[in-house]
């Protein structure tokens, strides 16, 4: 039986985890309403003016992605993101590549997602997660592909597609991707699938494509609500083999440099 405090901490809104208070949620609703009403007035500079509605949490997320991207500048390989959801992180990574490595057309960014939510919740994931959580609208991967292509069009070598979306359970699709891409070495792998089985399966399969200096990123490490990720990391890599780094504005996000 959950205590009152535990029950309050384990909140979901539309199937997504939040630790926001009711007051914070109300303020977010107010902010969205005001921004939505203002958006048609922003004209051609609408994207810059969207910063008006960007909250501290969102800015912190961008700073975090910037921090980890800098770890791979000067290193070869692709970026793999396991758990794309709506694509906010992947779009940010595409733009960071355009800032830090505008001519590095070998820095392909590949996103893996079911786009229908969790598909393999395990008993090691605790009682919080269920199949179907974090689903997107039907066909979102098509829309996301278009958005990412537009982002790429603003950078050099825009005629070369440097991203890929792989739809399906990564437990199976990643193995096929490795077969189809025997040349690929992994500069950075981001784990944001939250749950145990796909995280463990992918970790087992990618180890032979890492090099000393590859960056492993875990979005729910040490998170009581999603214990499966920590368990998967410990079973495959061993926590005592990793020198983990933590970004102060992202409570459950950690990264490690492979081989250090």
Give CA angle at 135 (133, 138), nearest 5°.
155
Query: Cα separation of 5 and 183, whole Å?
Result: 50
Share of the chain above pLDDT 70, in %: 93
Asked if residue 223 and residue 252 are part of one domain, the reply reads yes
Asked if residue 74 and residue 7 are part of one domain, the reply reads no
pLDDT at 80: 98
Asked if residue 131 and residue 14 are part of one domain, the reply reads no
Q: Is the pLDDT assigned to residue 13 strictly greater than 60? A: no
pLDDT-derived band at 1 (thresholds 50, 70, 90) equals very low
pLDDT-derived band at 5 (thresholds 50, 70, 90) equals very low
CATH at residue 170: 3.40.50.150
Q: DSSP labels for 141-165?
A: HHHHHHHHHHHHHTSSSTTS--EEE
pLDDT at 22: 85
Q: DSSP labels for the chain?
A: ---HHHHHHSEEETTEEE---HHHHHHHHHHHHHHHHHGGGSGGGHHHHGGGG--HHHHHHHHHHHHHHHTTTT--SEEEEE--TTSHHHHHHHHHHHHH-TT-TT--EEEEE-SB--S---GGGTTT--TTTTB--TTHHHHHHHHHHHHHHTSSSTTS--EEEEES-HHHHHHHHHHH-TT--EEEEEE---SHHHHHHHHHHHGGG--TT-EEEESSTT-TT-HHHHHHHHHHT-GGG--EEE-TTSTT-EEEETT-
pLDDT at 254: 96
Query: Cα separation of 214 and 206, whole Å?
Result: 11
Q: Which of 12, 35, 54 is the last residue of a domain?
A: 54
Q: Which of 14, 30, 54 is the last residue of a domain?
A: 54
The pLDDT tens digits for 64-96 are: 999 999 999 999 999 999 999 999 999 999 999
Q: Is the pLDDT assigned to residue 4 strictly greater than 50? A: no
Query: Cα separation of 113 and 128, whole Å?
Result: 20
Asked if residue 151 and residue 236 are part of one domain, the reply reads yes
Share of the chain above pLDDT 90, in %: 85
Asked if residue 115 and residue 91 are part of one domain, the reply reads yes
Asked if residue 153 and residue 27 are part of one domain, the reply reads no
Asked if residue 184 and residue 114 are part of one domain, the reply reads yes
How many structural domains does the chain have? 2
Domain hosting residue 83, numbered range: 57-257
pTM, full prediction: 0.91
The pLDDT tens digits for 101-142 are: 999 999 999 999 999 999 889 999 998 889 999 999 999 999
Asked if residue 72 and residue 6 are part of one domain, the reply reads no
Place of tokens 């981001």: 190
The pLDDT tens digits for 210-248 are: 999 999 999 999 999 999 999 999 999 999 999 999 999
Asked if residue 186 and residue 129 are part of one domain, the reply reads yes
Asked if residue 73 and residue 119 are part of one domain, the reply reads yes
pLDDT at 91: 98
Asked if residue 147 and residue 37 are part of one domain, the reply reads no
The pLDDT tens digits for 15-30 are: 566 677 888 889 999 9
């Amino acid at each position: 039986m959950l205590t009152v405090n535990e029950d309050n901490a384990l909140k979901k809104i539309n199937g997504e985890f939040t630790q926001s208070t009711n007051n914070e949620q109300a303020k977010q609703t107010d902010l969205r309403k005001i921004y939505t009403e203002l958006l048609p007035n922003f004209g051609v500079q609408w994207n810059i003016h969207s910063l008006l509605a960007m909250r501290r949490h969102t800015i912190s997320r961008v700073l975090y992605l910037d921090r980890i991207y800098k770890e791979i500048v000067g290193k070869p390989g692709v970026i793999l993101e396991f758990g794309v959801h709506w694509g906010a992180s992947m779009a940010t990574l595409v733009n960071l590549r355009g800032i830090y490595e505008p001519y590095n057309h070998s820095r392909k960014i590949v996103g893996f997602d079911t786009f229908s939510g969790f598909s393999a919740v395990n008993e090691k994931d605790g009682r919080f997660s269920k199949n179907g959580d974090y689903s997107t609208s039907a066909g979102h991967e098509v829309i996301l592909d278009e958005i990412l292509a537009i982002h790429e069009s603003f950078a050099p070598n825009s005629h070369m597609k440097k991203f890929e979306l792989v739809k399906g359970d990564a437990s199976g699709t990643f193995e096929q991707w490795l077969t189809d891409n025997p040349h690929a070495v992994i500069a950075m792998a981001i784990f944001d699938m939250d749950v145990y089985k796909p995280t463990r399966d992918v970790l087992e399969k990618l180890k032979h494509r890492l090099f000393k200096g590859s960056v492993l990123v875990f979005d729910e490490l040490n998170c009581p609500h999603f214990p499966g990720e920590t368990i998967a990391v410990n079973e495959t890599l061993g926590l005592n083999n990793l020198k983990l780094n933590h970004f102060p504005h992202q409570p459950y996000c950690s990264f490690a440099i492979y081989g250090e």
